Amino acid sequence: MSCRGLNHDYMSTHKKAFVADMHCDTVLRMMKGFDIASDDTSSHMGIPRMQQGGIDLQVFACWLDTDTPVEQCRSTVDEMIDTLEAQISRNPESIALCHSADEAEKNEAGGKISAVLAIENGVAIANDLANLDHFYNRGIRYMTLTHTASNDWCISSADTNQAFHGLTDFGRDVIKKMNKLGMIVDVSHASVSAFEEVMKITTDPVIASHSCVYNLCPHDRNLTDEQIKVIAKNGGLIGINFYNGYLSTRWMEVDDSIDTFYSDEIDEAYRLYPISRKKRKEFIPHVYKAWREAIAKVEVNVGTVVDHIDYIVKLVGPDYVGLGSDYDGVHRLPDGLDDCSMVPNITAELLLRGYSEGDIRKILGGNFRRVFKQVCG
């Protein structure tokens, strides 16, 4: 897929930059047989499209549901890491594992994409600090503390009935241990209370790997102005998520209205087919048709993504924002960012808005490289 609307000047600027995407969920697809070397369009990622999109560093998240039985958490993440490592080993000429900023620079010089490992949801450590050592030794370089449901020690942003304030004592120990290891703390999905507790404890910069601006789209997953300022003061970084529901209030309202109107039928479809989206679509095709027709009337595009970047730059400067696509983890993306090959469209939009090449380089990946180097060495 081509990067629409670009001329060679835009691409020249883009190719000069170190481009880092701080979050994707493609490992989940690999677990189901997706080959990262292919250009299979059922995925948002793939080596050919990453090369076309000029991606120099991609963070691959190993995601766990909060309901995963504690005895299965470590082994499930290990299996995900094994799967990714096996695919990388089959493509040594184009992609390599990366554990530090120095390795990222060497990979870039050698024309290889750097693959950084992350965990999404601290439930993965099974309430045992020793598992942080284990995962660090396996190459994990950041951990998202929680997900859409709170775990035993960190409150989720979606939790409206908090069992404790932000973090437990064990949760505080997790932050201290991550700082000691050189593992980046990721506050995406964390509640305001958890965020506050993290920022009291951490001695390293933190990231919000795939979040957006609350003031532009008031979703619990997004960050308030005060949180953005605190992250900037900490020297951290926010990776803008490409999911339409975190970018546009109107899109979120329309999406929610369809869910509400057809809630009984949607619930039944999920009860019958909890895993297969294809079978759910076949079971309630009229619901999906109504959703497509309603959503088509709401425009979300590359400019919407850059609106969120622009907001943060105007609030705290260009040093604290980057890209956190959430590719392969979301079901709807802005026009012009259908997959990773189209990331240069962001460069085009930034240039159209008058951003300097220096600031564009920071936003595309320089800021992440700075935090990566400071925390992970």
Domain locations in the chain? 8-248+300-376, 249-299
Report residue 43: phi and psi, to 5°. -110, 155
Residue 191 near residue 159 (C-beta atoms within 8 A)? yes
**Residue 7: pLDDT above 60?**
no
Q: How far is residue 346's CA from residue 182's CA, in Å, rounded to a whole number?
A: 31
Residue 330 near residue 338 (C-beta atoms within 8 A)? no
| Residue found under tokens 């933190």 | 206
Residue 143 near residue 95 (C-beta atoms within 8 A)? no
Instruction: Please calculate the CA angle 17-18-21 and round it to the nearest 5 degrees.
Output: 120
Residue 6: pLDDT band by 50, 70, 90 thresholds? very low
SS3 (DSSP) at 305: helix
> 286: exposed, middle or buried (C-beta count within 10 Å: 0-12, 13-18, 19+)?
exposed
| More confident position, 5 or 240 | 240
In angstroms, the first-to-last Cα distance of the chain is 36
DSSP string, 80-113: HHHHHHHHHHT-TTTEEE--SHHHHHHHHHTT-E
Q: Which helix (H) or strand (E) holds 26?
A: helix 26-31
At 306-340, the pLDDT tens digits run: 999 999 999 999 999 999 999 999 988 999 999 99
Average pLDDT over residues 185-194: 98
**Beta strand pairing status for 237-240 and 321-323?**
parallel
Q: Which long-range CB contacts under 8 A does 104-111 form with residues at least 24 apart?
A: 104/18, 104/56, 104/57, 104/369, 104/372, 107/56, 107/57, 108/18, 108/56, 108/57
**Residue 5: pLDDT above 50?**
no
Q: How far is residue 59's CA from residue 103's CA, in Å, rounded to a whole number?
A: 14
- At position 297, the amino acid (one-letter code) is K
**Residue 292: pLDDT above 90?**
no
Average pLDDT over residues 100-106: 97
At 261-273, the pLDDT tens digits run: 999 999 999 899 8
**Residue 39: pLDDT above 90?**
no
Q: Which pair of tokens denotes residue 109?
A: 């010089």
Q: Which helix (H) or strand (E) holds 58?
A: strand 57-63
Domain 8-248+300-376 -> CATH class: alpha beta
Query: pLDDT value at position 3?
Result: 44
Q: Which pair of tokens denotes residue 377?
A: 């060495």
Q: Which long-range CB contacts under 8 A does 260-264 form with residues at least 24 apart?
A: 261/290, 262/287, 262/290
Least confident of 75-84, 112-121, 231-240, 255-264: 255-264
At 151-178, the pLDDT tens digits run: 999 999 999 999 999 999 999 999 999 9
Residue 207 near residue 185 (C-beta atoms within 8 A)? yes
Instruction: Please calculate the CA angle 5-111-77 and round it to the nearest 5 degrees.
Output: 95
Residue 296: pLDDT band by 50, 70, 90 thresholds? confident
